[in-house]
Amino acid sequence: MLAPVAGGAEGLTHALDRFAGRWSKMRDLAPDKLSELRRVATIESVGSSTRIEGAALSDREVAAVLGGLTVDGFRARDEEEVRGYGDLLEMVFAGYERMRVSESTVKSLHHALLRHSRKDARHRGDYKTAPNHVEATYPDGRRVVVFSTAPPAQTRWWMSRLIDEFNAAWRSERWHPLVLTADFVLWFLAIHPFQDGNGRLSRALTTLLLLKAGYDYVPYASLERVIEDNKAAYYAALRASQVTVVQEPAQYRDWLEFFFRCLRTQQDTLAATLDRALQQSSLIPVQERILDVVRSRGPQTSTALATALGISQRTVRYHLMRLTQAGRLTAPPRRAGRLYSLPLEPPQAGPLARARGRRGGL
C-alpha cells in the first residue's frame, strides 16, 4: 500500500523535502553497502518497469539478464526490454547533471531504451507515425479507446510546447520541482510521442527530473516498484487526470496525489532499508551471518545455526543473546529447541489521506 499523506500540495512537498536530512545518514555507510543498495534497487526498478508493460521476468531473472545471461529463449522480447531499461537507467544515473531537458535528450533516451529491441529498430528515437491511442480489450475481443493521445501530425508541436513550457517554469522557480515533474510526466503520457516505450520512458524521465532537482537518493530505492505494487491506482489516476486536463489544464489532482504518495512510499521504503543497513553495519561478522541464515531459511534453533555456520553452540548462543537484546531477533521464553526469528514488521498504516495540488497546464 502507498504511504499515508496529509495536507495540501505545499505541505506534501515540505514533508518530502525533509527526507534529505534522513538521507544524509547514508554517508555513514561503507561504499560497498551503498553500491549493493543501488544494485538491488536497480534490479527492482528494471523488473517493475518492464512488468508494468507486460514483461514477465522475475527480479531473479532480471538480475541474470543484466549480468549478461540469457534466461529464456521464448521470452527474448522481455529480455530485450530488460536490457534496454537497465542501460537507460545507468545512462541517467551517470549523466543526469549534463543532460538538458530537450527533445534531443528525450529522443536519445528513447533510442537507448529500445537499443536491444530488434522489433523496434525502425522507430527507436523517432516520434510516432501512426496513432497509438490507449485501448482496453474486453473478454469478447472488443477494443475500446479509453484515451485519445496526440495525433502523429501534432506530436512534434506538442512535444516542443511541453519542453519549452517545462523549462520556462523550471527556470522561474515559481513551482516546486516535484509539481513540475508530475505535470511533465502527465502531459508526456497524454501526448504519447513514440510508437512504443512511452510508459517505460516516462518512468526513466521521472528519475532524471528528480535527480536534476537534487533528490539524489532516488537510485537507492525503486519508485518503479511502488508503481507496480499500485498498478491499478496508477492507471486510474493517469486516466482521470488526462481526461480532465483536456478541458481544464489545472485539474490533475488525482495524478498529483498519486505521484506524491508514491514518492512518500519510496522514501519510507528507503528509510526502513537505511535503518536496517545502519544497524547491520554495527554488527560483527558472525552476527551478520546469523541474521543472514535466519533471513534466508526462516526461524532457526541455536543447534541448526551452529551447524549451518560451522561454529560452536556456545558461541552461537552468546550472539543470539546479544541479537535478541538488541531487538534484531525474537524468541519465545527460554526452553529447549526454541526458534529464533526476525521481528514482525509493524502493521500497515490506515487509510490514505487526500492530497491536493494544482498548477496551470502546459
- Segment 175-205, tens digit of pLDDT: 999 999 999 999 999 999 999 999 999 999 9
Q: Is the pLDDT of residue 354 over 60?
A: no
pLDDT of residue 214: 94
Residue bearing cell 528515437: 125
Nearest Cα to 201, choosing from 81, 349, 32? 81
pLDDT of residue 23: 81
Can you tell me the distance from the alpha carbon of 146 to that of 149, in angstroms, rounded to the nearest whole number?
10
- Cell numbers for 58, please give them: 522475475
> What's the whole-number mean pLDDT along residues 73-95?
95
Q: Which domains does the chain have, with CATH numbers?
A: 9-278 (1.10.3290.10), 284-344 (1.10.10.10)
CA atoms lying within 13 Å on the CB side of residue 213: 24
DSSP state of 216: T
Cβ contact 162:191 at 8 Å: yes
**What global pTM score does this model have?**
0.76
pLDDT of residue 262: 97
Give a three-class secondary structure readout of 263-332.
HHHHHHHHHHHHHHHHHHHCCCHHHHHHHHHHHHHCCECHHHHHHHHCCCHHHHHHHHHHHHHCCCCECC
Three-state SS at 171: helix
Q: Is the pLDDT of residue 229 over 80?
A: yes
Which of 28-32, 61-65, 132-136 shows the lowest mean pLDDT across its residues? 28-32
Residue bearing cell 508541436: 157
> What's the whole-number mean pLDDT along residues 318-330?
86
Handedness of CA 88, 75, 116, 101 (dihedral sign): negative
pLDDT of residue 355: 33
Q: Between the CA of residue 279 and those of 29, 161, 285, 287, what are the distances in Å?
A: 10, 49, 13, 11
The whole-chain average pLDDT of the chain stands at 86
Percent of the chain with pLDDT over 90: 62
Confidence category of residue 25, pLDDT binned at 50, 70, 90: low
pLDDT of residue 189: 95
The tens digit of pLDDT for each residue in 149-163 reads 999 999 999 999 999
pLDDT of residue 304: 94
> What's the whole-number mean pLDDT along residues 73-101?
96
